[in-house]
Structure 1
Amino acid sequence: MKSFTSMLLGLLATCLFTYSTNASVILQYHHVSDDTPKSTSISPQQFAKHMQYLADNDFTVLPLNEVVDAIKQQQPLPNKSVVITFDDAYLNILENAKPILDQHQFPFTIFINPGIVDKGSPHYLSWSQLKAMADDGVMIANHGFEHESWTRVPKDTNFNTWLAQKIALLKKAEAKIKTETGQSWQYFAYPYGEFSPRIQQLLEQNQFIAFSQQSGAVGQDTDLTSIPRFPASQPYDKLSSLKDKLHSLPLSVTLSDQDAQTIYTKGALKNVTMTINSDDIRTEQLNCYVTSVGKQPVKWLEDKQLSITFTETLPSGRVRSNCTAPSISQPGRYYWYSKPWFILNEDGSWYPH
C-alpha cells in the first residue's frame, strides 16, 4: 500500500498539472464531398465518422468564441473540448456537413471570402444561405475579402502601402459579413495558412484574432495571432490518427525573434532553437518531425532549451515541424507543438499555391 506521503505527493502533482493540461482542439475542414479535390476534401461518410467519434467519446464541441474568450480571459479551457471550423464557404458544407452536425447539435464556424461570395458561383454558399445559417447559430468569420496570401508582396510594391491595402480589404470583408449576416467576430483565418511575425503584429494592432493551419492543441498560452488548427481533410482524415490529435495537449514554446520568422529562401534555414515552457513532459521522449525530411535529431542545450539542426535542406513550399512529447500527469496523452515555415524557391520567388 502506498504511504500517505506518496499519495499526498501524487495528489499535489495532479493538482499542479490539471491547470496546464486542460486543452481544446480546433479542427479545420474545407470540402465535405466525394467529388472535390482530395487535398481539401473529406467524404461525407468519413466526416460522419469523425462526428460520431466525438459524440461517443464524451468530447464537448464548443463554439469558437467560447475558446477564444477563455484564452483572452486566461480561464481554464474545458478538457476534451473541440471546435469545428470550415474554410472557403463551399456549398457542400450546407448540403453534406450541416445535416450531420445538426444531428449531434454541434456548433461550427465557416471562414468566408466575401469577394468570392459576391461572384455568385454555384459551388459556394450564397449570402442568403449564409444569413440563414447565421440565424441558425452558425458562426460566420473572415477569410479575407478574396482568397489572397498575406505574405506574397507583389514585385515593385511598397511593403507598407501593401500592408495598408491588406488591412483595408480585411476591414471591408468584416463590414460586408456584418451587413449580410449580422455577425462581426473579428476572427481571421489566414489564406493558405501563410503569415509572418509582421503580419501577426499588424492584426493584433487592429484587434483581429487570427487562425493558422499548423497543427497543435489550444491552451491558455496560445498566441491569439496564430491559433493552431488540425487539418482533418485528406490525407489526415483517418480516424486512427485523428484520435491522438483530439487527445493532444498544447505544448507551450518560446522562440527568439529570429526563430519566430516564417519566410526563408531555400537553403537559408538550417536550424531552430526553442524553449519548452512545461514541467509535464517526458523530455527524453520528445520527437520532432519536419515535412519531407522526417524525424530530426533534437539536442538539449539546457534544461528546457533544445535545438534542431536540419539533416537536409528544407524543400520549397509550406513546411512544418511537429514536436510531440508524452505527458507525465496524463499517461497516453501527448503535448503537441507545430512551427510553420514558408520556403521560397532558390531565386527568391514564391512556390505555387
Structure 2
Amino acid sequence: MLLKVRCGIVIGVLSASMMSQAQDYLPVLQYHHVSATSPKSTSVTPEQFTEHMDYLKTAGFQVVDLRSALDDLKDNIALPEKAVAITFDDAYRNIYKAGFPILKERSFPFTIFINTEPVERQSRSFLTWDQMKEMKASGGAFANHTISHPYMLRKNEGESDSAWLGRMTNEVDTVEGLLVEKLGSSPKMMAYPYGESNITIRNMMKEKGLMAFGQQSGVVSADSDFENLPRFPASGAYAKLSTLKTKLNSKPMPIASIKTGGDFATDKPVSLNLTFKQGKYRLKDLVCYVSGQGKAELDWLSDSEVVATASRPFDIGRGRINCTMPDNSGRQYYWYSNVWIRSEANEGYISEKS
C-alpha cells in the first residue's frame, strides 16, 4: 500500500512537471521563396533561412507537424514546450532547392500549401510531384492553396453568387483530389490565397473538414477560429531575427469575445472591440497599431472591454490592427491581429452579406 502511495506521488510530481513544460498554443511561421533572386517582399535568402532554423535549434524550439499540433490544440492536448510550426505558400521550386536541405539536415517537419495549376503544367519555377514525394518522405506535408491562387472573394464579370461559390468549391475540391491521387493523402488544411475569406468560404472549409489559415498575425490556441487561423510572416520585411524572436515567444491574447464589424472595411475608420477573459493582466500596457497609421485610439468601456479605432479609413486593399500586451513576467507578449478588406466597386468582390 505504501509503495502504491509513493508511486502515486511520483507520478503526480512527474505529471505536474510535464504540464509546467507543456504549451497550449502554437506560433506558425509563414514563408514563400527561399532565394536571393526572387521578389524581396516574399523572400528569405538561404542565409536568412539558415539563421532562422539555427535559432530554432539552439534556442530549444520543438518544430512540430502542423496538422497533428492543430488537432491536439483543438482537443486541449498540450504541445511540447516551445512548440512551433513551419509553413510555405505557393510551392516554389526554390523551397526544394534551397530550403529543403536546411530543413532535412535538422529533421524539421514542415508544410507547403500548393496551388496546383503551375505544378500540373510543369512550370520550371514550381515543385514537381516527384519532388514533393521526396520531401514528404523527409517530414514534408502538402496542403491546399487552390488551383489557380484566385482572390477567393472576387466574382468574375457577370457571375452569379451561386456560380462563384461553385467555382471556389472546385478550386478547393480539385486540389484535395490531386493531393490524394499524387501523394496518397491530404492533411485537410487550407491557406487562403492573399489571406482572404468570408463566412461563406469559412463555412465551406468547416463542412469539408479543412482547417484554414488567413494572413493575420498571431498565435494559434484552442480558442482560435480553426477556419481562419493566424500565422507570423517571416519573409521580406519580417525576416529580421530580432523581431522574429519576439513573435516566436508570443502568446495568444486572452480574449473572451471579439467584434470586428465584418470582413470588409468601408470609407469609415474600422474599430475592433475586445473583451478580455477573467484574470490578472497588464491591460494598461495594451497597445494596438493600425497598418500605415500608427497607434489606434483605445476606448475602455469597462475594466475588461476595449474598443480600438483607426484614425482614418483604410486605403484600398487589406488593412489590419495588431494588438500586443506584455504578460506579467514582461518576457513574453500576448498578440492578436485582425484584417479587413477595403475593395473598389470594379474589383468584383462578393457582397458582405453573401
| Fold shared, TM-score > 0.5 on shorter chain | yes
| Structure 2 CA distance for aligned equivalents of residues 20 and 222 of structure 1 | 18
Per-residue CA distance 1:208-262 (angstroms, 9 max, x = gap) = 1101111101112111111111000010000110000000001143224xx2511
Equivalence for 1:82: 84
Contact kept in structure 2, 1:318 and 1:340, CA below 8 Å: yes
Matched, 1:222 2:221: no
Contact kept in structure 1, 2:269 and 2:312, CA below 8 Å: no
The alpha-carbon deviation at position 169 of structure 1 amounts to 2.5
Alignment of structure 1 residues 39-50 onto 2, 5 Å? 39-50=41-52
| Structure 2 CA distance for aligned equivalents of residues 280 and 150 of structure 1 | 41
The one-letter code matched in structure 1 to 2:161 is F
Equivalence for 2:129: 127
Q: Alignment partner of 1:255: what SS?
A: strand
Equivalence for 2:347: 349
The alpha-carbon deviation at position 75 of structure 1 amounts to 1.6
| Structure 1 CA distance for aligned equivalents of residues 157 and 250 of structure 2 | 41
Contact kept in structure 1, 2:23 and 2:80, CA below 8 Å: no
Equivalence for 1:317: 317
Contact kept in structure 2, 1:222 and 1:252, CA below 8 Å: no
The alpha-carbon deviation at position 66 of structure 1 amounts to 2.0
Per-residue CA distance 1:50-71 (angstroms, 9 max, x = gap) = 0011111111000112211112
Q: Let me know the Cα RMSD of the aligned residues.
A: 2.2
| Structure 2 CA distance for aligned equivalents of residues 75 and 219 of structure 1 | 11
Q: Residues 75 and 293 from structure 1, CA distance in 2 versus in 1: closer, same or farther, beyond 3 angstroms?
A: same
Equivalence for 1:60: 62
Q: Residues 19 and 158 from structure 1, CA distance in 2 versus in 1: closer, same or farther, beyond 3 angstroms?
A: farther
| Structure 2 CA distance for aligned equivalents of residues 299 and 45 of structure 1 | 44
Aligned length in residues:
332
Q: Residues 197 and 120 from structure 1, CA distance in 2 versus in 1: closer, same or farther, beyond 3 angstroms?
A: same
Contact kept in structure 1, 2:319 and 2:340, CA below 8 Å: yes
Query: Segments of 4+ in structure 1 off by > 4 A?
Result: 17-21
The alpha-carbon deviation at position 350 of structure 1 amounts to 6.5
Per-residue CA distance 1:77-115 (angstroms, 9 max, x = gap) = 333111000101111111101111112111101110122
Equivalence for 1:255: 258
Alignment match of 2:248 (pick from 246, 249, 257): 246
Matched, 1:137 2:139: yes
Contact kept in structure 2, 1:77 and 1:219, CA below 8 Å: no
Alignment match of 1:163 (pick from 162, 165, 170): 165
Q: State the percentage of identical aligned residues.
A: 38
| Structure 2 CA distance for aligned equivalents of residues 72 and 271 of structure 1 | 29
| Structure 2 CA distance for aligned equivalents of residues 99 and 205 of structure 1 | 37
The alpha-carbon deviation at position 323 of structure 1 amounts to 0.3
The alpha-carbon deviation at position 133 of structure 1 amounts to 1.5
| Structure 2 CA distance for aligned equivalents of residues 24 and 310 of structure 1 | 28
| Structure 2 CA distance for aligned equivalents of residues 172 and 297 of structure 1 | 45
Per-residue CA distance 1:138-165 (angstroms, 9 max, x = gap) = 1011101111121112232211331122
**TM-score, normalised relative to structure 1:** 0.89
Q: Residues 224 and 25 from structure 1, CA distance in 2 versus in 1: closer, same or farther, beyond 3 angstroms?
A: same
Q: Alignment partner of 2:51: what SS?
A: helix
Unpaired stretches in structure 2, ≥5 consecutive residues: 1-15, 350-354
